[in-house]
Amino acid sequence: MKKLLTVLGVALVVGASPNGALAQANVVKFACYIPLTGPVAQFGKNMQNGFRQAVEDFARSGRLKGAKVAIECQDDQNRADDAINLARKFIEDESYVAAIGSWGSTVTLAAGPIYNKAGMVNITPISSHPAVTKIGRYVFRQSIIQSKEGPANAAYLRKLGVTRLSMIGLPNDYGKANMFLTRRAFEALGGKVVFSEFIRPDTQDYRQILQKAARAKPDTIYLGVFAFHAALIAKQARQLGIRIPVFGSAALGTYDFTRLAGDAANGVRMILVFNPAVGPGMAAFFAKFEKRFGYRPGPFATNAYITATMMFDIVAGQYPKVTRESIRTALDGQTRIDTIAGPMSYDRKTREWSFRLRQGLIDKGDFKLVD
């Protein structure tokens, strides 16, 4: 396996299925495309470990007699062109029953139409842009959607008494959707955005933009960014003496943020979904994952686990007659599943899963619920 990883650049998580009628060599294989190198490789590797944990747990369950599941991940570098090339490769390989990926909305939006045209399921555990599931009937998602997070952010902000908001976000598909939908919902509830600006993803110095955001005299500064950006912003705000409260996107509900930001993370609020604070099932998963991999999972590893587990449950109900079309039919036929995050329901009309979005904050380096 090590030789395969080195020569082919393949991240073999554990295996999965043919796309034909019967599993080959008693292995049901899923293809996977995620960023394993490049600036966001950490996120892809966290997803990969979530897949690994799901495969191991499913194997221990004994639910698939005489067969195994596998997820074989290859590196898309968070690049649309690489994802498109991988889609064509996976589609031609009939040993794959479906594809899982990617991390970034931009990448999934590029590759999704290729899978849809070929009649092969592409399900993303992460990409949250509203347009993803509008690509076609073979493209699915099992993650928070920005059109749900935006109103949840706005409701929480208004509950806190925020009327004036400064916003800082990323200029990618994720950041633009997150900022726009949060702003729209906030303004619909009577709030006012007094400052809004996008940052370069490779920015290291946020002092100038923080000073501009503070001069607008907001009640709160909203961050539609990822953990490593938010950690720098929070620390630099403290260095500048800016004491304006910070509210972050749900992507900040991760221990990566608390680790990188240190004391500057305390008091930051956000919507929590994939966090041990939300319930015993999630807390147990975090403990198991940390014991296995040596660190606490974030939302990307957690939702990768949930998505993989759902796909394996489908395989267990269909084996040995698992096909690409049977996978699509099963996904569209679901209405409710129980997960480590609690029960989730599927809306066949919108083709979206509903998650419970909880209001939380960071206190003394840990996450707490406030709703």
Residues 200 and 256 in one domain: yes
Q: Considering only CA atoms, give the Rg of the chain.
A: 20
The answer to whether position 369 is within a domain reads no
What is the DSSP code (8-state) at residue 120?
-
Residue ending a domain, choose from 247, 272, 297 = 272
- Span 68-77, mean pLDDT? 97
Reported confidence tier of residue 144, pLDDT bands at 50, 70, 90: confident
- Span 165-181, mean pLDDT? 94
Residues 157 and 200 in one domain: yes
Residue ending a domain, choose from 241, 272, 303 = 272
- Measured between alpha carbons, how far apart are the two ends of the chain, in Å? 47
Residues 127 and 168 in one domain: no
Residues 174 and 239 in one domain: yes
pLDDT at 4 over 50: no
- Taking each helix axis from N to C terminus, what angle separates 299-318 and 280-293, rounded to the nearest 10 degrees? 100
In the chain, the number of structural domains is 2
Amino acid identity of 340? Answer: I
pLDDT in tens, 152-161: 999 999 999 9
pLDDT at 20 over 60: no
- Alpha-carbon span 300 to 85, nearest angstrom: 24
pLDDT of residue 16: 37
Residues 8 and 133 in one domain: yes
- Span 306-321, mean pLDDT? 96
The answer to whether position 340 is within a domain reads yes
What is the DSSP code (8-state) at residue 311?
H
193: nearest Cα among 217, 229, 225, 159: 217
Residue ending a domain, choose from 248, 272, 296 = 272
Amino acid identity of 91? Answer: I
Neighbouring residues of 274: CB distance < 8 A, sequence distance ≥ 6: 253, 282, 297, 298, 299, 302, 303, 341
Residues 257 and 299 in one domain: no
The answer to whether position 307 is within a domain reads yes
Residues 136 and 152 in one domain: no
pLDDT of residue 8: 30
pLDDT at 124 over 80: yes
Share of the chain above pLDDT 90, in %: 84
> 173 near 129, Cβ under 8 Å?
yes
pLDDT at 322 over 70: yes
Choose the most confident range, by mean pLDDT, from 18-32, 135-149, 232-246, 350-364: 232-246
Reported confidence tier of residue 65, pLDDT bands at 50, 70, 90: confident
Residues 242 and 156 in one domain: yes
The answer to whether position 360 is within a domain reads no
pLDDT of residue 281: 93
Neighbouring residues of 252: CB distance < 8 A, sequence distance ≥ 6: 223, 226, 227, 230, 268, 270
- Alpha-carbon span 63 to 343, nearest angstrom: 21
pLDDT at 262 over 70: yes
Task: Give the H/E segment covering residue 250.
Answer: none
The CATH number given to whatever domain includes residue 261 is 3.40.50.2300
The answer to whether position 277 is within a domain reads no
Neighbouring residues of 340: CB distance < 8 A, sequence distance ≥ 6: 281, 282, 284, 285, 302, 305, 306
Lowest-confidence range among 6-15, 96-105, 186-195, 305-314?
Answer: 6-15
pLDDT of residue 24: 52
Residues 313 and 222 in one domain: no
**Domain containing residue 328:** 2-144+282-354
The answer to whether position 23 is within a domain reads yes
What is the DSSP code (8-state) at residue 22?
B
Residues 98 and 123 in one domain: yes
Residue 76 main-chain phi, psi, to 5 deg: -100, 0
Residues 116 and 190 in one domain: no
Residues 134 and 7 in one domain: yes
Share of the chain above pLDDT 70, in %: 93
The answer to whether position 160 is within a domain reads yes
pLDDT in tens, 210-221: 999 999 999 999
Reported confidence tier of residue 25, pLDDT bands at 50, 70, 90: low
- Alpha-carbon span 202 to 189, nearest angstrom: 33
The answer to whether position 365 is within a domain reads no
Reported confidence tier of residue 173, pLDDT bands at 50, 70, 90: confident
What pTM did the predictor assign? 0.87
Mean pLDDT (the chain) is 91
pLDDT at 201 over 90: no
- Span 58-78, mean pLDDT? 95
